[in-house]
Amino acid sequence: MASLINTAISTSHELSNGTPAMRATSGEPDKSTSSTPAPARSSKRYRHTFAVHSVGRASCLSHDAPTTPSFLGFRNLMALVLIVSNLRLMIENFKKYGVLICIRCHDYRRQDVVYGSILYFLVPCHLFVAYIIELAAAQQAKGALARTKRADADQDKPGQQRKEQDEFRAAWYLIAFAHGINATLNLVIATVVVYYYIHHPGIGTLCELHAVIVWLKTCSYAFTNRDLRLSLLHPSDSDPVPELYKSCPYPQNITLRNLTYFWWAPTLVYQPVYPRTSHIRWMFVAKRCAEVVGLSIVIWIASAQYAAPLLQNSLGTISSLDIPSILERLMKLSTISLFCWLAGFFALFQSFLNALAEVTRFGDREFYGDWWNSSGVRGYWTSWNKPVFHFMKRHIYAPLVGRGFSPTAAQIMTFLFSGVLHELLVGVPTHNILGEQQYEPTIYVALIADHHTGVAFAGMVFQLPLIFITDPLAKMKGINGKLIGNLIFWISFCLVGQPLAALLYFFAWHARYGSASKPQLWR
Amino acid sequence: MASLINTAISTSHELSNGTPAMRATSGEPDKSTSSTPAPARSSKRYRHTFAVHSVGRASCLSHDAPTTPSFLGFRNLMALVLIVSNLRLMIENFKKYGVLICIRCHDYRRQDVVYGSILYFLVPCHLFVAYIIELAAAQQAKGALARTKRADADQDKPGQQRKEQDEFRAAWYLIAFAHGINATLNLVIATVVVYYYIHHPGIGTLCELHAVIVWLKTCSYAFTNRDLRLSLLHPSDSDPVPELYKSCPYPQNITLRNLTYFWWAPTLVYQPVYPRTSHIRWMFVAKRCAEVVGLSIVIWIASAQYAAPLLQNSLGTISSLDIPSILERLMKLSTISLFCWLAGFFALFQSFLNALAEVTRFGDREFYGDWWNSSGVRGYWTSWNKPVFHFMKRHIYAPLVGRGFSPTAAQIMTFLFSGVLHELLVGVPTHNILGEQQYEPTIYVALIADHHTGVAFAGMVFQLPLIFITDPLAKMKGINGKLIGNLIFWISFCLVGQPLAALLYFFAWHARYGSASKPQLWR
């Protein structure tokens, strides 16, 4: 009988000549990691009978499932779809407009370059004026210290002490007044020149940015040295000067060499001594410089080829007050402005500042935090631009709180100050502060231009309610609060944040004065 | 002298009346988690002097940084940009075409419904024919078993044994022939009716899908019972029937009740016994049904409002052989087809099959794995559709390997078989197999239609080289190989994979026979 069945098997079925060792590899093939069905290779005789459904299992997307599966693959898909859909828009753009990029046809006036060069050499002079003021103040402080020692030696001369007190106070006011005049002059001269004499918004922005940076450095230099002078004349054990400064105590730091280092160092906060690296890695500098050049070209292409025709197309739509159309335009604008902003952020804060820090052997490279993960608007403002954040905290927020202001009031004042700086940096080079119109504009352009006056300032001030709204979200337990906070941050960043505002400013300029490039193919 | 300096401080500076406890909270404020600058609240006297840059640190995006920061925020931004950019496209679409969705104007022929209903009742009959064949086979096996026992009792009758062997072999062939005729008839009848008599592609696909599912179930039922019968007649200790089947051994499982359960169970693989749940959660069923309905409506809107005009617009472009234009259209098409495919996948595999499993108290709900994370094309094919994968593995791949084919050859044959099934499911309902033209088409439409013949089959066969290319990537050490494999998977999935192929088939039908909806606003 056994032979009968074996014959039947051999006709309809394969020969069952598997060794026990081969059979041991079979079993539940669907329990393997599903990459290869190799276990079924064994020559099991009753192959069609194995129990595929042997235990109860839940679908991995069900709530019943013991673990949530990873969605890493969908992240990859999202990145892919984003790249593909933007490639598609690039093809669409190319078909519509052709190549808009033109190097030779960029148009700037000779006057702009002349005034820009003058400002470039004039602005740092104020830093050296501040140095001369501090040199005099240090001399005065050294004299006061010597007199104090003498006074401690021969006690009880009230008339003498009274006189010295008056002298000291007079010198104190004089120094503060001199610094104030010097710093204010810097900012006023640069702003007037940029606003009235520099037509090109790019050159204007560079000049204004340079002036604001040097102004902040001058302020930090004056404030820090004032407090260092105080701590020299009136040392306090409970509140010592930081350990780091011991290698260069107060009057020794007032040297031209020390100031020149601060002038070039990638920070806005003056310290007599900074953490330094041991040597310059030139390869590192070369890579960072290549990144700056590459990203600048990318941003230039993106704005000339994509942002410019888009904004031109949008002007009419936005003025038509047709809500779906305006939303559609805003969404398209925010994507390109976001891209330019992110590329610009990387070029400036990662590549350029790191290259500068490497050349100056500056140790503390924390120019930004991981602001993209911030679970609220506050987290963004305290981490995206650390140099400015450090300045604001050390020289504005902390002193205000020390003088008795509440932290909220101090924050509001910090943001108002920041708003004024932003308005200076964006409104002045685009000549949008006063809302005047030099050329005859179309009705659309006038509408846009009028609405832009003070956008940067308003944008900064608008951050305050956003901060107070998102603060509770960031403190919420669990992942949801953080996720919602992060989404609110991104939406506010993309729609009311800097990218769009900055772009709108530049293109309001563009719409009012015409293109900086001559051939306007897309008109 | 101390009073002198104190006077000076009180004029230009705040009063330093901080207690030691208050001072203790100050220190290095920028070392806090940068969420709130609270430490600066203490009334430190020399506030402008604290060392912001106290230690050397690397920028968090540099290679020098000790840890890579999280990019979770950018993932959120990607999701947001995707949603926003697609909202934008929806607004654009609405402005261009208005509302294209129309319930009443859907057009189907009465004949289609009649033939569809006949097929719906006719197809399962073949499963019951298979049951009757198995009932006869079980009787024959029971007789053979009884005769074997008798033969074991009175030994040595070679003539009798010879006769029985011939009888058994004849019965074996007869059963195989009967099953073959029954199953083939099922598929052939359904295919002929759908191809020649059902015009509407939706009704046709449903009928063809139903026939293929019942055909696969019939095959599994016949193969499994054949092997169970063998194991009854020739029990093997080294290769026993699975433990799970012990509660219902072979001839007892050939009942109408058992077959009816297999007919409705969400699996293509027959087992006498399945893991079962204890009770039906009707709330679960209701939720899953609601998901099916909701997603079906979403897919219908997406295809009617977005895919249909897009494909119509694309026909001219694709035939123009202008490469950038074709790429642009393909990218736009792949996004919408991907969306429809993902929604359809969820509706069918998660919602519908889970609802069905809950109603039938079917325990093993693993209808799919986390295919979206698969690091190669093979991982996708072994996990996206587990019911079909289980069938292919148990009834095609494993027997072929057992018969001595190499695993690679068995895989190729499995994919060829799968390709034929895909062609049946997509080519037959859209009448694209033979490439015949019933109506006079424009030159574009003919071009498209001609190129579509066999696309589904070719798509499946094309998976094979992709599998062999991506296999080494999935096995690579480190994250990069997996990432690249996943990206290749997604690209092949979106561009040559099912979504686009299926969409193209349906719209080739659409282009050849006209819209299933009457008013073609977008022509």
Section A382-397 average pLDDT: 91
Q: Is B349 on the interface with A (CB under 8 A)?
A: yes
Residue in chain A nearest B367 by alpha carbon: A59
CA gap A25, A34 in Å, rounded: 15
pLDDT band at A18 (very low <50, low <70, confident <90, very high): very low
pLDDT at B130: 95
pLDDT-based confidence at A310, cuts 50/70/90?
confident
Which whole number is the average pLDDT over A222-250?
A: 84
Chain A residues within an 8 Å CB radius of B229? none
| Structure confidence by residue, pLDDT tens digits, B391-412 | 999 999 999 998 889 998 998 8
Report residue A254's pLDDT band, with 50, 70 and 90 as the boundaries. Answer: very high
**If you average pLDDT over residues B215-235, what whole number do you get?**
90
Which residue is closest to B491 within chain A, CA to CA?
A: A80
pLDDT at residue A255 greater than cutoff 50: yes
Question: Cβ atoms within 10 A of the Cβ of B411, count?
Answer: 23
Residue B497 pLDDT? 61
How far does A205 lie from chain B, in Å, by closest CA?
26
| Residue B235 clears pLDDT 70, i.e. is over it | yes
Mean pLDDT over A192-211 rounds to: 89
Contact A390 B349 (CB under 8 A): no
Taking the Cβ of residue B151 and every Cβ of chain A, the question of whether any pair is shorter than 8 Å is answered with yes
Weakest-pLDDT range from A451-465, B78-92, B242-256 = A451-465
Q: Under the phi-then-psi rule, with left for phi > 0, alpha for psi from -120 to 50, and beta for the rest, what region is B157?
A: beta
pLDDT band at B14 (very low <50, low <70, confident <90, very high): very low
In chain B, the percentage of residues whose pLDDT exceeds 70 is 76
**Residues A350, B398: C-beta atoms closer than 8 Å:** no
A110 touching B, CB under 8 A?
Answer: no
Helices (H), B428-478: 443-452, 455-475
Range B52-78 burial, b when 16+ CB lie within 10 A, else e: bbbebbbbbbeeeeeeeeeebbbbbbb
- Other CB atoms within a 10 A radius of the CB of residue A170 amount to 10
Tokens representing residue B201 in the block: 């592609």
**A6, A12, A17, A23 alpha-carbon torsion, rounded to 10°:** -110
pTM (predicted TM-score): 0.71
Judged by phi (left if over 0) then psi (alpha if -120 to 50, else beta), residue A234 lies in: beta
Contact B238 A20 (CB under 8 A): yes
- Measured between CA atoms, how close is B275 to chain A, in angstroms? 6
Q: In chain A, what residues touch B11 (CB-CB under 8 Å)?
A: 169, 172
Per-residue pLDDT at A272: 92
Q: Which tokens is B315 given?
A: 């026909």
Residues of B in Cβ contact (< 8 Å) with A494: 80
How much is the pLDDT for B246?
A: 85
For residue A39, pLDDT beyond 50: no
ipTM confidence score:
0.71
In terms of DSSP H, where are the helices of B241-376? 256-264, 282-301, 308-319, 323-345, 353-359
- The pLDDT > 70 percentage for chain A reads 76
Query: Which amino acid appears at position A413 of this protein?
Result: M
Query: Is B513 a residue whose pLDDT tops 70?
Result: no
Question: Do the chains contact at B403 and A91, CB–CB below 8 Å?
Answer: no
Q: How many residues does chain B have?
A: 523
**pLDDT greater than 90 at residue A145:** no
Split at pLDDT 50, 70, 90, the class of A334 is: confident
Contact A41 B331 (CB under 8 A): no
Higher pLDDT, A30 or B467: B467
Query: How many contacts, defined by CB atoms under 8 Å, are there between A and B?
Result: 428
Task: Mean pLDDT check: name the lowest of A25-39, A50-64, A174-188, B276-290.
Answer: A25-39
Distance of CA B347 to the CA centre of its chain: 10
pLDDT at position A89, please? 81
pLDDT(A435) > 90: no
Taking CA atoms, what residue in A is nearest to B482?
A73
pLDDT for A111-120, tens place per residue? 889 999 999 9
Q: Looking at residues A245-252, what average pLDDT do you find?
A: 86
**Residue A36: which region, alpha, beta or left (left: phi > 0; alpha: psi -120 to 50)?**
beta
Whether A449 shows a pLDDT value over 90: the answer reads no
pLDDT one-digit tens code per residue, B117-149:
999 999 999 999 999 999 999 988 888 888 877
Within a 13 Å sphere around the CA of A289, how many CA atoms are in the beta-carbon half?
9
Helix (H), strand (E), coil (C) string for A258-304: HHHHHHHCCCCCCCCCCCECCCCCHHHHHHHHHHHHHHHHHHHHHHH
Question: Over 90: is that where the pLDDT of A199 sits?
Answer: no
Residues 65-84 of A with CB under 8 A from B: 69-82, 84
Q: In the predicted model, is pLDDT for residue B456 greater than 90?
A: no
pLDDT (average), residues B214-239? 87
Q: Which of B87, B385, B4 is nearest to A85 (CA)?
A: B87
Statement: residue A153 has pLDDT above 90: no
B501 — pLDDT class (breaks 50, 70, 90): low
Q: Helix H segments across A346-432?
A: 353-359, 377-383, 386-392, 398-402, 407-427
Which amino acid is residue A521, in one-letter code? L
A500 pLDDT band, cuts 50/70/90, is low
Burial label, B380 (beta-carbon count in 10 A; 0-12, 13-18, 19+): buried
Cα distance between residue B402 and residue A275, in whole Å: 71
Do residues A250 and A228 lie in contact, with contact meaning Cβ atoms separated by under 8 Å?
yes
Q: Which one is predicted more confidently, B463 or B512?
A: B463
Which one of the listed residues A422, A431, A452, A510 is annotated catalytic?
A422
Nearest CA-CA partner of A171 in A142, A128, A129 = A142
Across A32-41, A199-208, A430-439, B187-196, the highest mean pLDDT is recorded for B187-196
pLDDT of residue A514: 56
Distance CA A369, CA B414 (A): 53
Q: What is the mean pLDDT of residues B210-214?
A: 95
SS3 of B364, please? strand
Residue B296 has pLDDT above 90, yes or no: yes
CB A402 to CB B14 under 8 A? yes
**Chain B residues lying within 8 Å of A243, measured CB to CB:** 51
Chain A residues within an 8 Å CB radius of B382:
34-35, 37
Q: What is the pLDDT of residue B514?
A: 56
Look up residue A211 and give its amino acid.
A
- Give the number of other Cβ atoms within 10 Å of residue A387's Cβ: 20
Percentage helix, strand, coil for chain A under 3-state DSSP, each rounded to 5: 70, 0, 30
Transcribe A344-379 into DSSP letters: HHIIIIIIIHHHHHHHTTB-B------GGG-SSHHH
Tokens coding A413? 């004042």
Q: Which of A11, A335, A483 sits opposite B169 (nearest CB)?
A: A11
Q: Of B34, B100, B13, nearest to B519 (Cα)? A: B100
pLDDT attached to residue B72: 84
If you average pLDDT over residues A62-76, what whole number do you get?
83
Mean of the pLDDT values across residues A178-185?
Answer: 94
- Mean pLDDT for B408-437 is 78
Strand partners, B57: A364
Distances (CA, A) of A253 to A233, B40, B136: 16, 25, 106
Confidence of residue B12 (pLDDT cuts 50, 70, 90): very low
Q: How far apart are CA A327 and CA A333, in angstroms?
A: 10
Please compute the mean of the pLDDT values over residues A447-476 and round it to a whole number.
69
Mean pLDDT of chain A: 78
More confident residue, A181 or A320: A181
Reply yes or no on whether the pLDDT at B20 is more than 60: no
Asked if residue A14 has pLDDT above 80, the reply is no
Q: What is the pLDDT of residue A447?
A: 43
Q: Which of B256-265, B279-288, B298-307 has the lowest mean pLDDT?
A: B298-307
| Neighbour count for residue A39 (Cβ, 10 Å) | 17
User: CB A68: neighbour CB atoms within 10 A?
Assistant: 10
Residue B225: which pLDDT band, with cuts at 50, 70 and 90?
A: very high
Q: Which of B415, B174, B219 is nearest to A48 (CA)?
A: B219
